[in-house]
Structure 1
Amino acid sequence: MKKMLDQTNEIVEICLLAGKIMLQNGAETYRVEDTMMRIAASFGIQASHSYVTPTGIIFSIDGTGPTKLIRIVERSTDLQKVTIVNSISRKISSGELSLEEAHRQLKELDTKNLAYPLWLQVAAAAIASGCFVIMFQGGWGDFLPAFISGGLGFYCLVYVHRLVKIKFFAEFLASFIIGIMSILFVMIGFGHELDKIVIGSVMPLVPGLLITNAVRDLMAGHLVAGLSKGAEAFLTAFAIGSGIAIIFAIY
């Protein structure tokens, strides 16, 4: 009986760990719940229940098994980790992974840092900013100003967020820096269309994944998660807009 209970506890731990990794790295709420229940069913637990919100996961099984809760404090975007968890889940379902091996792989994945180096993230944000200027029918003369402003703003976002864990302030300061740089470039004649430079530069800060996941969760019937993610996306958009609005008001 004790051995069976220990095995059940380990299955619950695996399900919670898989759900935690997915939720921390940008997966939709309904996908997290589905993956956890599929893993439990693959290990012989057919009657499992999960309740997932952006800040926590509750998972339980019928019978003598415990109900466990995990708090989610930090959330970022790393879709590679979500893909790897999905791959592990499929291997579990097909019987390719044992309980111990699945637990080991998930633990390793949880501690890995698969994100691209900071310089590459900043370079990608800078290039994207310049390309957005062209996409919004700006001139090639504004490509470099947006390239510099967007890269500097994204670096500011990452750096400030490491110092202050409140994301709102990091996003606000990043957009404020972008506004200052854009205006300076136009004043010295290096840039021409201020609106195009600003719009292109703030695009890497826009919470596109959050908005998409909020809509998908709402459509899947997860109203609490969908509304909370929508509120988080609204706060991000408000922070970006406030930073730009203040510098424009000063200008």
Structure 2
Amino acid sequence: MSKEKTYEIIEVCLLAGRIMLKNGAETYRVEDTMMRIAKAYGVEDSDSFVTPTGIIFSLEGQEPTKTKLIRIIERTTNLEKVMKVNDISRKISVGNIPLQEAYHLLKDIDKESKTYSDLAQVIAAAIASGCFLIMFQGIWQDFFAAVIAGGAGFLCSVYFHRVVQIKFFAEFLAAVLIGLIAFGSVHIGFGAQTDKIIIGSVMPLVPGLLITNAVRDLMAGHLVSGISKGAEAFLTAFAIGSGIAVVFVIF
């Protein structure tokens, strides 16, 4: 195998892994996808080591062994991109996509903008907050208070995450805002049950996918990734709880 083709295989594998890891895929799924792509292009022996903040990928059996490391700085949730990479990986495995074409297809996926605009996400979070309130046996009188609090809290989280660039503080401030709106709505008679409004409103901020991936990684034996994702989920939960606690202390 030529040196140029070896590096092209590494680039395709790393690009697929980076897209998946940045958009919410589990660690073991990322590693398995990268090794399957390498095998489909003729490299039987490859190794990958994936953590939430980096990927190390190596092609064995080459002279010399080719290894590359990339860092993952930002992570979000976009399972549509994960699904598209999985689809391309399956087509590569059956030999339907040449190497260069696979690279360009993955590049197109990486350049895609968010599936839903910020406004659509805020509206969805607001409606979900009201629905969560009803699910947790709240009363319909509090539905619109939860909608307003949940939407405002999610918007605050998105905005401050761009300004502060520290996820913990963005979620903390969002929780404080949710608590203030919940107490304010009950104080003016717009709502009735402060606890149910808060519970329903913070649900869009809860790191459900992160917790799920942490458990799945731990069960698959990826202890480093599982523990680090669990710690990140704990910090998010701590930020939400601290923000609400501050409001309870004030009032």
Which residue in the other structure is 1:176 paired with?
A: 176
Alignment of 1:222 onto 2:246: no
Q: Secondary structure at the match of 2:162?
A: helix
Is 2:10 aligned against 1:46? no
Partner of 1:85: 85
Task: Note the alpha carbon deviations across 1:1-20, whole angstroms, 9 max, x for none.
Answer: 7xx11001000000000000
Across the aligned residues of Structure 1 and Structure 2, the Cα RMSD in angstroms comes to 0.7
Give the one of 13, 25, 32 matched to 1:34. Answer: 32
The one-letter amino acid paired with 2:57 is F
Tell me the amino acid that sits aligned with residue 225 of structure 2: A
* TM-score normalised by structure 1 residue count: 0.98
Over the matched positions of the two proteins, sequence identity in percent amounts to 67
Aligned residues: 249
Displaced runs of 4+ in structure 1, greater than 6 A? none
Cα distance between partner residues in 1 of 2:177 and 2:163: 17
Q: Where does structure 2 lack aligned partners over 5 or more consecutive residues?
A: none
Residues 1:193 and 2:189 are matched in the alignment: no
Report if aligned partners of 1:81, 1:114 keep a CA contact under 8 Å in 2.
no
Partners of 1:14 and 1:103 within 8 A in 2: yes
Partner of 2:72: 72
Deviation at 1:39, TM superposition (A): 0.2
Whole-angstrom distance in 1 between the partners of 2:54 and 2:99: 24
AA partner of residue 56 (structure 1) = G
Larger mean CA deviation between 56-65 and 210-219 belongs to: 56-65
Aligned to 1:24: 22
Give yes or no for the alignment of 1:59 onto 2:57.
yes
Q: Which amino acid aligns with 1:31?
A: R
Deviation at 1:114, TM superposition (A): 3.2
How far apart are 1:66 and its partner, in Å? Answer: 1.6
**Separation in 2, partners of 1:73, 1:114:** 17
The residue that corresponds to 1:95 in the other structure is 95
Q: Which residue of 2 aligns with 1:146?
A: 146
Cα deviation for residue 115 of structure 1 reads 2.6
Measured in 2, the distance between the counterparts of 1:215 and 1:115 equals 27
Structure 2 residue 157 is matched with structure 1 residue 157:
yes
Given that 1:80 and 1:114 are in contact with CA atoms closer than 8 Å, whether structure 2 keeps it comes out as no
Distance 2:121 2:108 in 1: 24
Q: TM-score, normalised by structure 2?
A: 0.98
Displacement of 1:94: 1.1
User: Residues of 2 paired with 1:201 and 1:105: CA distance?
Assistant: 39
Listed one character per residue, the Cα deviations across residues 146-191 of structure 1 (whole Å, up to 9, x for unaligned) are 0000000000000111111110000000000000000000000000
| Separation (CA, whole Å) in 2 of partners of 1:225 and 1:201 | 29
